[in-house]
Structure 1
Amino acid sequence: MGQRFELQKDVELAATPEQVWEAIATGPGIDSWFMGRSEVEPREGGRTSFTMAGQTQEATVTAWEPGRRFAYRTAPGPDGAITAMEYLIEGRGQGSTVLRLVQSGVLGDNWETEYEAMKAGWDMYLGTLAAYVAHFPGRSGAPVAAFRPQAGTPEQVWAAVAGAFGITGPVTEGQRARLTVDGLPPIDGVVDLAGLPTYFGVRTDDALYRFLHSGTDRGNVLVLGHHLFAADQDPARAEQAWQSWVEKLPIG
């Protein structure tokens, strides 16, 4: 039997309401900080689509108030699951904005695990949104994804990922992080998200690199969700290179 839920998150962003609107209510904007690829038909009653790992989920826009409020809702799934999303934008002084996210609906049978995963996942994605609007304003990022199911426990996975970036000891924001991936330019940046044991992020001058562990109850999947902002980017080549890297990463 499904379970009704509601999840709220607030984040203060170093951006104007107009910039935040572009980031949360347009396909290129969403692609620059959220997983997968998104499309948005810009009107109330319009359609949205979200594609990840070959699967597409569609929804209907239920509120379209540019610079203030954006909401959409999926149709009920075979198991009765429904997701409704609402973003509320409030401008503050000195060019900053507070964004409130409200996610609600009905989760399936494994709702407790799903709910906990959503809470942790949103912390990473909203942190990525904050980094996007602060460091890459007005630019569109190409999303790149890779996956490794049954990668290992959180402790094993993060030891391997941090070690690959040349990090020893506790992972903290501001640490230098360097990595070479076969077929791609060297990565030289700083840790900008350290939400272990769930997520880890590195920011460079032209990319946001994101690593997420699904948790033991969800298959110990290591998920890579990066956003590339370089003018000469090749997302398809990068995705292939990262998939090869994560499959070969020595864990455990």
Structure 2
Amino acid sequence: MTYQYAVERADYADLASGKVFYNQAGQPAFPIRLTSEIFQRCAAIRAQHGEYAKAVVYDPCCGSGYLLSTLGYLHAEGIQRLIGSDIAPEVLRTAALNLSLLTMTGLEQRRNAIVQMVEQYGKESHRDALAAIERMTPRIRDLQIETTTFLADATDPAAIKATLTPASVQIVIADVPYGLHSMWQGAHLGDPLASMLTALQAVLAPKAVVAICTDKAQKAQHPDFRRVDQFQMGKRRITLLMSL
């Protein structure tokens, strides 16, 4: 695949999972450059349909929140609110911590914790993390993004509608379970991808764009959605959909 928007091979070392952003055991770190490319493709499609306002971005399979957090850091100017949900409460705690790093309060708490690690262990990796925080601080100081996390089965319409208001989400980005490091869970598992798309319908704004990341064996399709873009990156297939 040729990148259309994230064309520069930027240095994302400061944003590496486990450095400043929190790492959750068993949760893969979604590639940052790919996150940027997906968001910018979604934004471009919205613009083609006359939608230019900042987007509410929702990840119904957010895991540790790493995808959303790095997205917010890179593209805050185009984002009003970041929302993440997951079926596993233990990963949601990490997601909330990661999203808190988009605020000065959360970043300062992380800095204080790493200072203690430096004093206790004296590791070079902790000093590197402190240096990364210093470089990130000017950017974080200017960010104004609302963030929300909540517990929900991504395939359950009632669970999603219990927290999100109708027609409130402009962009969905979901890295769904592939079966390698994660498996689908929940009550609506006949066709989990189709069930998730059904569950999302009520909360999607008009002209919303849904980006689904799967392996090549899964197909993101639904009779009430049309495909507007698709590309592959390594083992991942990214499909962009809009409601009919």
- TM-score, normalised to structure 1's length? 0.28
Q: Which has the higher strand share?
A: 1
More helix by share: 2
